[in-house]
Amino acid sequence: MTVHCNAPPHGRGWHSTARRDSAPGPAGASAPDAVAAASTQPTGLRRSRAHAWFVAGFLLLLGGSLHAEPQILASQPPTTEPAMTTTGFTIVAQADPYASDFFDPSLLDAGAEARETETAEADDDLLDEAAYEALEEAAPDVDLLIQRLPEGNFNDRRAVAEELAATGDPRVPVVLGALLEGRLLATAEDPPRILIRAETGRAGRDALTGEPVDADLIASGRRIPVHNPLRNALRSLIAVSTLSAPDPERRATSLRRLMRDDVSPDLLEYLDDRVELEDDPRVMDLLLTVRALARLNVDDAQVRLESVELLRGSLLSEVRVRLEATANRDDDPEVRAAAREALDSIEARIRFFRFTENLFFGLSAGSVLLLAAIGLAITFGVMGVINMAHGELIMIGAYTTWFIQTLMPGALSTSILLAIPAAFVVAGLVGIAMERGVIQFLYGRPLETLLATFGISLILQQAVRTLFSPLNRPVQSPDWLSGTLQVNPVLALTWSRIYIFIFAIMVFVALLLVMKKTSLGLKVRAVAQNRPMARALGVRTGWVDALTFGLGAGIAGVAGVALSQLTNVGPNMGQAYIIDSFMVVVFGGVGNLWGTFVGALGLGMMTKFLEPHTGAVLAKILVLIFIILFIQRRPRGLFPKKGRAAEA
């Protein structure tokens, strides 16, 4: 069964500024048979111009039968009026969402690679020469348009892209997608050859014919530049055409896109049809939301009311914006009240999630503090060395990460994982060298270790400056460390922070185990408690000191690996953490690992809960003042060491 849908008389534009045009479009022309023969359905909702004749001939298959025979397609050459940025658009819908492979750029690329490595038939279903020829006959001006893409400035390019989208040519989404991703190249010839570089590798294909081209030609092509406004426009252009993409993720992306733009009534009808066809529950949710948003504009107050009900509880910012608008401006008081009420319930939920978010921020800030301070909890807390070079040991760990990354480019994840033990060893060795070279002469004179280690920190900083230049070093993050865990639209937890939190806990637990369960830990504690007695019992205190200091230094190095994923790697980076680290250790109680743990998370949490009210600077000052006052009240920190050792 097919439904033929004409453009509605009041074509609401893509943008809210679209001009209304009461002229109905002529019925769509029938598509070339070849297209149907290629079993391809142009899915593009194509744009024509705002005040253009609204043209839509399209074919819909209600009931969602996958095996329905594809029938007529709409295709109307673009009208000749001058390009406008505000456009209405034509819907060229299709019967079967799974038959749209042709238009999926990724599949096209996959095809390109397949062809390179395997046989020429690998992607025959994607690129039928005959189909291309037929297409060219049908829309000869599309070629010319595509060839015009490299010309002029961004606005010219945008106009061409809009014209292209309006053609409904099946190559257009592919070409625009490549343009969007910076993979559309033009050669220097006149007219230029337009090439599409594959997403990976150096191969590619001709944008007009779909034929694969060799890597040299690709390399000779110049990228057709795009900028953000153009990218945004392209996304909107493509979004409509990928509403029926086979990949649910792509459908979701295009729906999220549509959510931002005003949905015109003709698209609304198309959405109705998609609702019938959609089988992915997540996409379905989005689809219903988009449709409900679109329905907030219809004339029937009852429909608007239903939409408000449906949107109740959604946390999407677009929904909130539109509900806000409805609550303020809707003609019907009942709808206004419903929207206001829905908004209030949403706000209540958001408040809860913002609290959760703050909690997460606090924990994450705390975990960074913990990582930075935990090595110091050993060198300062257990050994009593005021290690002012602690920050530089962190820096050494970060530089180790950078160094390993430059040694093995292309293996980001491995290099990061490898950097952890490497940084531990490098920083640990530096620490042992420091201990044997300088600090061992200063035991019992804690204030002088401060001066000596401060001197070492200056030397290490300047050494890094001399060796690696004073410029920062770029350390990259592997993909699994970027991006967010999107719990819901208002609560997104960044992966890097989650991993660093877990990592900090792991380091802490490992250290705790070392101190409590190993013989080294036993000796360390023994030496810390009573050095002469430990020595009398046969503990080689010198070695224990060196190893303990090495352990603390090594952990600082490991912290450097984690921090390299969050911040700069440069000669000054250690300075940023040294004072905070000392505050944490002193606040928590010197010599107590649990104190450091609680102190770090507590201070992190405090900063993050103060920050929204006071701003970042004042929050930091207040935390410092708090620590100063706290130390006056409890001079030995949160968890003071008890007994003889406390007086050391």
Partner 1 sequence: MTQSPWLKSLRTPGVALALTLSAGAVQAEDPIKVGILHSLSGTMAISETTLKDTMLMLVEEQNRNGGLLGRQLQPVVVDPASDWPLFAERTRQLLEQDQVDVIFGVWTSVARKSVLPVVEELNGILFYPVQYEGEESSRNIFYTGAAPNQQAIPAVEYLMNEYGIERWVLAGTDYVYPRTTNRILEAFLKAHGVADEDIMINYTPFGHSDWQSIVADIRRFGSQGKPTAVVSTINGDANVPFYRELGNQGISAEDIPVIAFSVGEEELSGMDTRPLVGHLAAWNYFMSVDTPENAAFIDKWHDFIGDTRRVTNDPMEAHYIGFNMWVQAVEAAGTTDVDTVIDALKGVTVPNLTGGMAEMLVNHHITKPVLIGEIQEDGQFLVVWQTDDLIPGDAWSPHLPGSRDIIADWTPPISCGNFNTVTQTCSGQNY
Partner 2 sequence: MLTRRLFLSDWGGITVLVLLLAMVVAVPYANLVLPPESPWHLSTYWVALLGKFLAFALLALAIDLIWGYAGILSLGHGAFFGLGGYAMGMYLTRQIGDRGVYGHPELPDFMVFLSYESLPWFWWGFDMFWFAMLMVVLVPGLLALVFGWLAFRSRVTGVYFAIITQALVFALMLAFFRNEMGFGGNNGLTDFKDILGFSVQARETRVALFVISALTLIAAYVAARYIVTSRFGRVLIAVRDAESRTRFAGYRVEHYKLWLFVFSAMLAGIAGALYVPQVGIINPGEFSPLRSIEAVLWVAVGGRGSLFGAIIGAFAVNGAKTWFTAAYPQVWLFFLGALFVLVTVFLPRGLVGIFRRRRTEGGA
Query: Which positions touch partner 1 (CB under 8 A)?
Result: 154, 225, 227-229, 231-232, 235, 317-318, 320-322, 324-325, 357-358, 361, 364-365, 368, 462, 465-477, 482-484, 486, 492, 494-497, 566-573, 576, 607-608, 611-612, 615-617, 620
By a kind-dependent CB cut-off of 5 to 8 A, residue 441 interacts, out of partner 1, partner 2, none, with partner 2
In the bound complex, what is the minimum distance in angstroms from residue 375's beta carbon to partner 1?
A: 18
Please say which residue, 314 or 457, places its beta carbon nearer to partner 2: 457
**Residues forming the site for partner 2 (CB under 8 A):** 384, 386, 388, 438, 441-442, 445-452, 454-459, 461-463, 466, 575, 579, 582-583, 586, 590, 617-618, 620-621, 624-625, 627-629, 631-633, 635-636
Give me the least distance between CB of 405 and partner 1, in Å please: 10
Report, in Å, the least distance between residue 426 CB and partner 2: 19
642 binds, among partner 2, partner 1, none (CB under 5 to 8 A by kind): none
Q: How far is the CB of 474 from partner 1 (least distance, A)?
A: 5
Handedness of CA 91, 96, 99, 105 (dihedral sign): positive
Q: Which residue's entry shows tokens 């534009």?
A: 13
DSSP E strands: which ranges in 455-529? 484-488, 491-494
Q: Which is nearer to partner 2, 401 or 607 (CB)?
A: 607
495 binds, among partner 2, partner 1, none (CB under 5 to 8 A by kind): partner 1
CB of 380 to partner 2, least distance (A): 8
Calculate helix-pair angle for 154-167, 171-180, nearest 10 degrees: 150
CB closer to partner 1, 192 vs 570: 570
Q: How far apart are CA 207 and CA 184, in angstroms?
A: 8
Q: Which does 298 bind (CB under 5 to 8 A by kind): partner 2, partner 1, none?
A: none
Q: How far, in Å, CA of 302 to CA of 5, rounded?
A: 24
- Closest-CA residue to 210 (of 107, 138, 117, 77): 107
Toward partner 1, which CB reaches closer, 120 or 617?
A: 617
Phi-psi group of 564: left, alpha or beta (phi > 0 → left; psi -120 to 50 → alpha; rest → beta) = alpha
Tokens at 403, concatenated: 């160094």
Give whichever of 362 and 384 is closer to partner 2, judged by the CB atom.
384
Whole-angstrom Cα distance, residue 617 to residue 110? 51
Whole-number Å distance between alpha carbons of 226 and 182:
7
Nearer to partner 2 among residue 387 and residue 548 (C-beta): 387
612 binds, among partner 1, partner 2, none (CB under 5 to 8 A by kind): partner 1
* Residue 85 CB, nearest approach to partner 1 (Å): 10
Q: At what angle do helices 140-148 and 154-167 cross, to 10 degrees?
A: 160
454 binds, among partner 1, partner 2, none (CB under 5 to 8 A by kind): partner 2
Q: What's the half-sphere exposure (Cβ side, CA atoms, 13 Å) at 623?
A: 26
Indicate which of partner 2, partner 1, none lies near residue 318 (CB less than 5 to 8 Å, by partner kind): partner 1
Cα–Cα distances in Å, from 642 out to 483, 598, 624? 45, 18, 25
Distances (CA, A) of 261 to 133, 349, 498, 557: 35, 25, 33, 49
d(CA 400, CA 559): 11
> CB 634 → partner 2: shortest distance, Å?
8
**Cβ-based nearer residue to partner 2, 425 or 450:** 450
Task: Give the nearest distance from C-beta 163 to partner 1 in angstroms.
Answer: 20
- Tell me the two tokens of residue 437: 């070279």
d(Cα 451, Cα 504) in Å, to the nearest integer? 29
Min CB(386)–partner 2 separation in Å: 6
